[in-house]
Chains A and B, each alone.
Chain A
């Protein structure tokens, strides 16, 4: 099947408006005869469910957690971008669009990103109206801060808990619709397959995670909003339950999976400390606004610090290598995430890592505390303040800005980050790859939509900070409600979709057979045993830097591991009860297939871009020497994979990317 992105014709700034003016609408009286299933209730799914219900559709929403309020969007910290230009520092829709396309290393679809930038300002208005307590300045107006990869202050925030507050806003909008009976909420339910009737998505098979009951649910359209697949690495910043099952199941039923190898490695995570570790903890990138990143200049100091003979605070300014400020003077510590992550890895690989594992660099707030302290002393008219007074005044400011992050760091590492620099290291975070969708956010299956992190469209090969929240809410509140209406206008006479059909029978049987296999297989190894092994292969060979040989090995090793899994996995308990091991088994089975496609996609993409550093593709000379080398001539396309059984047999379809409004340029942050 040829890929049709369905991007409307015309100038980019008019595309969305023109599109909205010409789509088919559904009469309000007819909407109540149409059912929509939304799977996942994070920022994308929650906002979509609330809005579709408000428009008048009957919505059935599903989440695996005990309440929509717990979706992993809640853990996003730093903020949400919007081109409001409240600061008067030159921001505009075009500039947000430009930064996002450039930040994504020119691997996203221009028209989608422009639309995202266009609706971004509405998101803030919407959320404030819902009672989201964004940070304010003393005049009562909204405050902003800056994030990596941009030169303006366009990030709106609610302390270090922006994702939490935005999710609670969407959750409250859902609650209003649940109370009205327009959303039927299914907590503790997991979607295990999609049901297609005459080529159209018409329902899902879900498991009630409390009783184990397998349920059939029908609808006129199905929306997948189940987030990213970072847990394919086992250790990631994702919640323990975050999974790719819904996205993978629809891939197996005909939805193409795009750019699976695009994973974001986030630079400011707490380094790992042992083999028992279950996940990695991220700290907001906003810390880089005030923190300076460094490692010792001299190897003797590195060794002295590792052996405990010296403390980081013993090193003078000129004994430290502020490598981001040195290499990227224009952006300094605020370079984009992929650049910051690679630079940290480069220093650690060269032997300069500062903890026992050699996988950590310092994030230091001493100069920020001093700068703020002096400023406060001036404001408060304190003459000749002592060093302690300056420290106290400065610490109070840093605490007000990042207090909860500092507290979290101290709880985990057992060190006071106000006194001694934090240690950070990159970790797997957000996945830019995902289900392929057209401009309407529809997959290659009719009536099957995919929004938020679960789709591939807006972030290219890399994601700038504070852009994920923006996409989730833009898709759910402002994009999908229009595009899905255009599709559903053909369904006003369809009537209820029955669930007692052969299509539902078959899908349900497939799901039940698989569950029966798990609970009856008397293997020797736990699900986590396999998940950890997969994660190790992924990190070693499909991680921040990759090469042809490693990727080929990864494909073979994952296949072998998958075969062993299906022989030797052990799942205690039964199918007809709450069984967390059974839930995990199904998810890891899917990761074991996705992981191999991931490696295949990375192997195909013989260029470095975004978080994907291909060792064979590096700038050899000039100002950019040693930086990642993108290859637009051969790789300016979206790699959309069609399922053909074994992941290794997946067929590649290319959506060539056209850049009419932004010139393709080398990404320089020097």
Chain B
């Protein structure tokens, strides 16, 4: 844990190239935007590193940024020298008078990103390759900090400090994620299990709750992993999260406190809850539901049953069948009669609400998400139209295990999520989807997430899903994915001007989703069980020795 808080860069007027010369341009590469340069072995140019060269476009000098995509050895010790693993190749080289040490040369391939165009606020491809012989410099840390995030520096935009550039020494070059950008065009955090998805999400949440952003956030947490965000209110993190009167509110809603208001459901939700209703039942139910909704904002299961009888007569078999089904579906503590009026206890600026869904069934989780998101979305629509000012601030909702809520198939929550993802930007409603199975996510949902934080993914289906749905995930991004280790991520999409390999920073608060230590738990459990068994069984064989049946089975 560290409390050091880097300052976001103030402007982009910083030199692009650092003093470190890494190589000399050799020739054009295989594709139109690639070139190769030669780097001596003692200079470490890793894949994903940012480099800079000078070029002239229409008479103007520009520093063009490029990304290293591949490194190959151009020259090294001959294979003959390595013939016997028992003999040190340097000894052979020394004996034959071949210089060793820093004689190896690397041929490095780099892909041009472009020079930074201040007017456009992004990179412009110069469409010309560097001249052979020109020098290649390592890009300046401060320059990268300023130009990689697609942020508007002039405005007072909130920036999330998510980590550092992976290829640079730790803490040398900060990576900032412009919150406005991903909060409006949505975020996807994709990684296989154990790669640090929820850790990364927590880092982003911490940043969004800092005084510079004070987000209004709602988290759907199916595994109860985000309890520890409460630590943000502790005094030891005061210098990180507090500013004057402001300290983030953290509202952890326990499973038994979670309710779904029956009036917040729609007819489709209701049908989904009921057990195989017949056509007639549907008809009666629809009439009853419409009537109740028009009359009141306070509907209980009993009201619904009563109205069904009213609609179809007291002796109706259909109403009776519906009664059984309605009681079974809605007669649980999860459902309450009163519509949720005050949404600000759920979402408010400077407040993160974590809904711990770990005791709800998957269907109930989807139902809850559908009802809540629909309600919030409608409130935002009304607020934007000026009809209602209950939610006159933008929202951001984070869905952990996103494939539960937006699976590739059917789910109650899928429809509203699709709507929010495709139209939510206009209403200030952002969604963050966290998932370990991009291939199991609805393709529309995945493709609508404008910013992606992608961590280690080895499954080819998942990689393919990313390639197909994520526009900015080029081949060079995909190539990185299997090789990343926990805590390393590629951040790409709308929020970044180019994909960036990032080392995710440490959380300020403790992490709540560590893996279980299976072996130690097994040992403890076994000892407990064993002790219990020994207490009741006193060596059965000793006592019954004479009675042992030797007959072959």
Indicate whether A and B interact.
no
Residues on B facing A (Cβ under 8 Å)? none
Residues on A facing B (Cβ under 8 Å)? none
